[in-house]
Amino acid sequence: MLGELFNNPFAFFSWLIALVVAITIHEFSHAFAADRLGDPTPRMQGRLTLNPLAHLDPLGTLMLLIARFGWGKPVVFDPFNLRNPRRDAAIISLAGPASNMLLSSTLSLILHALLTTPYAMIAYIFIQPVIVMNVLLAVFNLVPIHPLDGFKIVEGILSPDYARQWHELESYGMIFLLFLVFPVFGGVSPISRIISPIINFFLSLLLPGVGSAGVI
């Protein structure tokens, strides 16, 4: 994606806008869910906003630009303010990826509706990157490794005994994640090999003209 900055500046900035939109929606949804479930922490920290500056993480944004997977600034919440901490933490974690998929699905409907109009090409140019980036962010964050959202989601659906054992893996999360994002297979990371087929499956459903080979 960074290579497009000089080769195709318009494409680069369209992807950059898509990235900002995806991260902002994702992190805002975490904050909104936490607030609705009784924890005022995100509101007090200024995260209950659609201002992108409140949600962008420098390293996570750079990773999305370089490797097409990454993260936003984590939304901090206090489990002691939640009525059912384990269940509600899972709901808060799920809210981010769910919002990305909801936005992608909505934009897909709009894009398909515009295909037979004179605005089809311009709509595709602006909407396609937003759909792709939202699907990328959603699928990557559903990987069940701490600190990604998938870890808390799995913990929330396990029985209490298994959840305690699962929680013990949290301290090893970053080690696992660094291993998975490091390119080893001909310059391709293990995580990319794992999630690319899933991403391409969703894109084949959401984007017109994208077959099973996908775009990732």
Tens digits of per-residue pLDDT, 105-163?
999 999 999 999 999 999 999 999 999 999 999 999 999 999 999 999 999 999 999 99
Cβ contacts of 8 within 8 Å, gap of 6 or more: none
Q: Is the dihedral of CA 185, 187, 188, 191 positive or negative?
A: positive
Which residue is associated with the tokens 């959840």? 163
Query: What whole-number distance in Å separates Cα of residue 187 and Cα of residue 168?
Result: 32
Tens digits of per-residue pLDDT, 171-195?
999 999 888 888 776 778 889 899 9
Give residue 140's identity as a one-letter amino acid code.
F
pTM (2 d.p.): 0.89
Cα end-to-end distance, the chain, whole Å: 12
Tens digits of per-residue pLDDT, 108-117?
999 999 999 9
pLDDT of residue 211: 54
Q: If you count them, how many residues does the chain have?
A: 216
Tell me 75's DSSP state.
Answer: P
The catalytic residue positions are 27
